[in-house]
């Protein structure tokens, strides 16, 4: 390296964490562990003090998402990746259709493709930087796509696929980097699932899902059929959605959770709800992301990667950099100045910055970031 750019301190954001997940954790969330919940750490998750935290998370999310009657919040260990396998084991009956337009949406489709007891999935693909919803398909009992494709910064609509209700198909939406940042009408989904290390600014390792009564009924039926004599299907206990639901109803998880993750998540949900809930969070992310997109549009060397303005994510902003400038050098120089995790998704392989602007990120820090990038580009040694 040798020729590091030193950014003047008055330009540096107050907080330099711009990761797309893991993402910035607010100091108050750390404080919630240190002071408020210190006596909880190292205690049983089957006892009331920890169960109260889980109850508060479930109530807080129910109100945050204004969930319809009969819907409920379930949670368990393993993150959104575990939920994909759980959906393959206990939600997809025989055959699913997928929208696939980036690393994350492709991975869930791949899990279904590999599951020996499911029929070959139908995959509706589109190029990175665009989205494609799964289309109505005969014989399908679950439609799956990502609300926000974190690898490319693309946001997709969340609405029931026409005809899917008549075939009693479920709508399973990966909301990992969307939940808490993008608007949603939960009634359009049967499972809206996510991990807490993105918009909820907590640690990873947990999955959460808003489940419809139909999703819960489906899991019960699938798991009952798998336990019949001679059934080819195996639902590993860890991937049983009905066990997860039963435990969640008791404000517990199937197996031991990381308490710090729960405590920080709970703090964030309270903070979001106290500030105005989902509408407030959505507006804040819209503001931060539009600061970045308009900066890029007016820049001589940067431009938004996603050309369809209505598909540009409000939570994960991807910015292409002119080929004459090496984005990796910008990213390294920013990191040397304490501004971290601005790299594009590795496998996408573009000369790109990717910036997470979840609710915890201050919009004025986003403005400071654009000034820092301009400063670095001006002073970098090509």
Whichever of 76 and 304 has its CB closer to ligand PLP, that residue is 76
Structure tokens at 2: 């040798």
- 197 carries a ligand binding annotation: yes
CB of 378 to ligand PLP, least distance (A): 33
For residue 92, count CB atoms less than 10 angstroms from its CB and return exposed for 0-12, middle for 13-18, buried for 19 or more. buried
- 6 carries a ligand binding annotation: no
Structure tokens at 201: 């600014």
CB of 286 to ligand PLP, least distance (A): 19
Whichever of 344 and 377 has its CB closer to ligand PLP, that residue is 344
Do residues 60 and 269 make contact, with C-beta atoms less than 8 angstroms apart?
yes
- 81 carries a ligand binding annotation: yes
Residues that bind ligand PLP (CB under 6 A): 21, 79-81, 104, 146, 150, 174, 176-177, 195, 204
At which residue do the structure tokens 């431009």 appear? Answer: 303
Alpha carbon distance 255, 273 (integer Å): 28
For residue 6, count CB atoms less than 10 angstroms from its CB and return exposed for 0-12, middle for 13-18, buried for 19 or more. exposed
Whether the ω angle into residue 318 lies within 30 degrees of 0, i.e. cis, is no
User: Which residue has the closest beta carbon to ligand PLP?
Assistant: 79
Alpha carbon distance 373, 277 (integer Å): 31
CB of 154 to ligand PLP, least distance (A): 10
- 255 carries a ligand binding annotation: yes
CB of 11 to ligand PLP, least distance (A): 30
Whichever of 65 and 345 has its CB closer to ligand PLP, that residue is 345
Structure tokens at 381: 């040694």
- 309 carries a ligand binding annotation: no
- 174 carries a ligand binding annotation: yes
CB of 109 to ligand PLP, least distance (A): 12
Alpha carbon distance 308, 270 (integer Å): 34
Do residues 206 and 196 make contact, with C-beta atoms less than 8 angstroms apart?
yes
Whichever of 295 and 358 has its CB closer to ligand PLP, that residue is 358
CB of 196 to ligand PLP, least distance (A): 8
Q: What is the DSSP string of 327-342?
A: HHHHHHHHHHTT-B--
Structure tokens at 56: 């508060």
Whichever of 21 and 121 has its CB closer to ligand PLP, that residue is 21
- 150 carries a ligand binding annotation: yes
Whichever of 115 and 380 has its CB closer to ligand PLP, that residue is 115
Binding site listing for L-glutamate? 46
Binding site listing? 46, 80-81, 104, 150, 174, 197, 255-256
Binding site listing for pyridoxal 5'-phosphate? 80-81, 104, 150, 174, 197, 255-256
């Amino acid at each position: 390296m040798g020729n590091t750019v030193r950014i003047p301190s008055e330009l540096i954001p107050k907080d330099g964490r711009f990761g797309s997940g893991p993402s910035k954790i607010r100091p108050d969330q750390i404080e919630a562990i240190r002071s408020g919940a210190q006596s909880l750490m190292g205690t049983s998750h089957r006892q009331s003090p920890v169960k109260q935290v889980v109850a508060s998370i479930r109530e807080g999310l129910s109100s945050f998402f204004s969930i319809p009657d009969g819907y409920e919040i379930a949670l368990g260990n393993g993150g959104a990746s575990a939920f994909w396998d759980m959906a393959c084991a206990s939600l997809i009956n025989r055959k699913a259709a997928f929208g696939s337009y980036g690393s994350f949406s492709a991975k869930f489709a791949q899990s279904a493709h590999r599951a020996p007891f499911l029929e070959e999935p139908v995959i509706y693909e589109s190029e990175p930087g665009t989205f494609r919803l799964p289309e109505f398909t005969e014989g399908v009992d679950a439609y799956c796509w990502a609300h926000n494709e974190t690898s490319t910064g693309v946001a997709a609509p969340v609405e029931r696929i026409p005809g899917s209700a008549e075939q009693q198909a479920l709508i399973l939406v990966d909301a990992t980097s969307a939940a808490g940042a993008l608007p949603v009408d939960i009634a359009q989904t049967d499972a809206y699932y996510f991990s807490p290390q993105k918009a909820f600014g907590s640690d990873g390792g947990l999955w959460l899902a808003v489940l419809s009564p139909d999703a819960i009924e489906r899991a019960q039926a699938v798991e009952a059929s798998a336990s019949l004599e001679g059934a080819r299907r195996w639902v590993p206990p860890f991937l049983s959605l009905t066990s997860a639901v039963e435990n969640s109803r008791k404000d517990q998880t199937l197996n031991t959770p990381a308490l710090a993750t729960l405590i920080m998540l709970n703090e964030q949900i309270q903070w979001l709800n106290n500030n105005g809930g989902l509408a407030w969070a959505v507006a804040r992310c819209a503001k931060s992301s539009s600061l970045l997109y308009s900066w890029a549009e007016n820049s001589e060397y940067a431009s938004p990667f996603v050309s369809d303005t209505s598909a540009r994510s409000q939570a994960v902003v991807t910015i292409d950099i002119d080929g004459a400038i090496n984005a990796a050098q910008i990213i390294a120089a920013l990191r040397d100045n304490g501004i971290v995790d601005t790299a594009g998704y590795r496998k996408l392989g573009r000369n790109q910055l990717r910036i997470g602007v979840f609710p915890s990120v201050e919009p004025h820090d986003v403005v400071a970031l654009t000034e820092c990038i301009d400063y670095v580009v001006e002073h970098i040694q090509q």
